[in-house]
Amino acid sequence: MSTPAIVLIIVGAVVLIALAVFLIRRAAENRRRERERLRREAAEHRQEAEAHAAKASEKGDEAAHQRERASQDAAVAEEHGRVAEEREQRAAVARERAERERNVAASSRDEARRERELANEHTTRARELEQTATEAADHALDLDRSAEAEYDDAETQREVAAEHTQAAEDSERQAEEAEQRAQREGRAAALHDQRAAERDPDAT
């Protein structure tokens, strides 16, 4: 994973956490206001119920009606209390979710730090390998130059060897020609001796 992607992930996580904290605070403030309003309404309803109950002692039918209305108001107040409790439960769930998000963000930060450390190690290793490759290339170039020099020397030695071989072949040919001349001269001398002996038998 590249560094820009990691930075974007971290920034996104921070933004999500900030948004979650803002929503939680706003929800808590709304719940507080709602509870205060419900308490005020409940207090008003209770006061109204008490007023109706007082009037109920004076008015029969009207008192029964007022008691019924008071019962309804109490049911409404109870319903409001139940709604407030449900909202508090949802707020608790939201707080738990926010805590999990914070844990995920912390884990993401740790992973990003490890990725950066690993990337630094890889960068250092790549630089070392690049240096080694450069040194190997320089060494190979030196070897190529040395091999070329050796090849030139070998070529020179082959030319010198060829010259010596040619000289040896010339010397062998000259020696062979000299030997053939010596053989011819020996045969000629023998022939002369034989002819001399034939001419003068007493000379032998």
Query: Which has the minimum average pLDDT: 19-23, 25-29, 113-117, 174-178?
Result: 113-117
Buried b (16+ CB within 10 A) or exposed e, 37-55: ebeeebeebeeebeebeee
pLDDT single digits (tens) 26-81: 998 998 898 898 888 888 878 887 776 667 567 666 656 666 776 777 777 788 77
Q: Are 92 and 27 in contact (CB under 8 A)?
A: no
Which residue has 């590249």 as its token pair? 2
What whole-number distance in Å separates Cα of residue 170 and Cα of residue 35?
126
pLDDT given for residue 203 in this prediction: 47
The average confidence (pLDDT) of the chain is 80
What whole-number distance in Å separates Cα of residue 202 and Cα of residue 204?
5
Spell out the alpha helix ranges (H) of the chain.
3-56, 60-199
How far from the centroid of its chain's Cα atoms is residue 11's Cα? 20
Token reading at 53? 């109950």
pLDDT single digits (tens) 125-143: 878 888 887 887 788 788 8
Token reading at 200? 């003068």
**Residue 41: which residues within 8 A CB-CB, separation 6 or more?**
77, 80
Per-residue pLDDT band for 23 (boundaries 50, 70, 90) equals very high
